Amino acid sequence: MPEDDGTTGDGTTGDGTTGATSPLDRVADGLAADQVALLGARRRLGGPRARRLVDRGGTVGTVAGAALALGFTVLATVATVRTVRAGVGRTDVRTPYRDVTGFGRERSEADLALVDHRLSALVAALELGPAPTPADARDLVGGAARRLVRWVAAGRPHDDALAPTLRAYDAVMDVMEAPAAAEEGDLEAAGAAYVGAWRATLGR
Q: What is the pLDDT of residues 62-119, one digit of tens each?
A: 444 444 454 455 445 444 444 444 333 456 899 999 999 999 999 999 999 999 999 9
Overall pTM > 0.75? no
Is 16 domain-assigned? no
Give the model's pLDDT for residue 45.
52
153: three-class secondary structure by DSSP: helix
**Confidence tier at 124 by pLDDT (50, 70, 90):** confident
Is 77 domain-assigned? yes
Give the model's pLDDT for residue 38.
80
Contact 11, 146 (CB under 8 A): yes
Domain residue limits at 122? 23-202
Task: Calculate Rg over the CA atoms of the chain.
Answer: 17
173: three-class secondary structure by DSSP: helix
Is 112 domain-assigned? yes
Mean pLDDT of the chain: 74
Q: Phi first, then psi: what are they for 12, rounded to 5°?
A: -115, 160
Is 6 domain-assigned? no
As for how many domains the chain has, the answer is 1
